[in-house]
Each structure stands twice: as C-alpha cells, then as structure tokens.
Structure 1
Amino acid sequence: MAKNIKKYMNLHNKTRNDICNDLSISYTTFADWVNAKTYPRIDKIELLANYFNIEKSDLVEDKENSLKEVPELVVINKAMKKMTPDQKKKMMNILKASFEEEFNDS
C-alpha cells in the first residue's frame, strides 16, 4: 500500500503536507502509512482513493504490471469518467481510425 500511495502522490504532484492539509490527516499518521509502518483503516483508504479519484483497490492491491502504471492511461481513464456515452463513442471512433491495424488484429 505504501508504494501505491507514493505512486499516486507522484502522479498528482502532491506532497505529504498537501495531503495531510487537504484531508485533515495527522502528518505522523500519514508518514507511517507512506513508510509502511502502519496500515490505514478502510475509511481512510476510501478517503485517499476519492482524493486521487481512483478505486480503493488501486491503493491496496499490487498492480505492478497494470495498465494504470502508464500515467497517460490514468489521465484518459479520469477523463472518460466525465464523458457522456456519445463522447466515449466519438473517442473510440478516433482511436479506431488512428490505430486501425491494432484494432483489426484483435
């Protein structure tokens, strides 16, 4: 979990102080989570997940080889959550046109 917290801190350009101030978490408590000394309660995991706009599983699971390791995909996923179905369809049409060979191989 500590590794995942650090990863999302880096992705979102957040410092420990930023997160502690934004979420009203004590610095020493947060430092213990980041240093893997203690493990946050589920309500704090949910608070962090909401803060980073990710799933709780993104924080607690080891997803070393996940597509979410690619920062661009994190941004795309975040944008897609805000899109209407019509906007998603248009985006997929653009991707299919741009990467026709890759889509035809599957």
Structure 2
Amino acid sequence: MYKKFANLLVKNNKTAYQVSKDTGIAQSVLSDWKTGRSTPKFDKLFVLAKYFDVPVEYFAEDSDEKGA
C-alpha cells in the first residue's frame, strides 16, 4: 500500500509532510506504514483517497494497471 501512496506523492508533487498537514494523518503514522510497523485502517485510506481524488479501492488493487 505504501508504494501506491508514494506513487501518488510523486504524481501530485506532494510530500508526506504536506499530506500529513492537509489531512491530519500524523507523519508518524505515515512512517509506520512505510516501515511496515502498521497498516492503514479504512478511515485513513478513505481520507487519502479523497485527498488524492482516487477511489479507495485504488489502495486495495494488486497492480497499478487501472489508470492509476
């Protein structure tokens, strides 16, 4: 999932810090996802999907083939 998040950061020219500030998701939470220490809960995925204007299913798909 973090790989897809990282791809969205690049595509949208954003940093994890900016996303954290804009969404209220703590940087430590994003860091934990990156390191695999924790996995995102649906409510956080929903916030990210809305923020990046992608369907929440984007994070659940196995590949980035579906226009993502």
- The TM-score bracket by the shorter chain reads 0.7 to 0.9
Indicate the SS of the match to 2:67.
helix
CA–CA distance in structure 1, aligned partners of residues 11 and 48 of structure 2: 14
In structure 1, the partner of 2:58 is: 58
CA–CA distance in structure 1, aligned partners of residues 14 and 34 of structure 2: 13
Could you state the TM-score of these two structures normalised by the residue count of structure 2? Answer: 0.87
CA–CA distance in structure 2, aligned partners of residues 33 and 52 of structure 1: 17
State the AA in 1 paired with 2:67: K
In structure 2, the partner of 1:17 is: 17
CA–CA distance in structure 1, aligned partners of residues 52 and 36 of structure 2: 19
In structure 2, the partner of 1:49 is: 49
Deviations 1:32-88 (A, max 9, x none): 123332111101100000000001111122214x1525xxxxxxxxxxxxxxxxxxx
CA–CA distance in structure 1, aligned partners of residues 32 and 47 of structure 2: 16
Flag the 1:3–1:16 CA change in 2: closer, same or farther, 3 A. Answer: same
**How many residues were matched structurally?**
68
Percent of aligned positions with the same letter in both sequences? Answer: 26
CA–CA distance in structure 1, aligned partners of residues 60 and 51 of structure 2: 15
Q: Which ranges of structure 2 fall in alignment gaps of 5 or more residues?
A: none
Q: Which ranges of structure 1 fall in alignment gaps of 5 or more residues?
A: 70-106
Whether contact under 8 Å (1:19, 1:25) holds in the other structure is yes
Q: Which structure has the highest helix share of the two?
A: 1
Higher Cα Rg, which structure: 1
1:30 to partner: Cα distance: 1.1
Could you state the TM-score of these two structures normalised by the residue count of structure 1? Answer: 0.58
1:3 to partner: Cα distance: 0.8
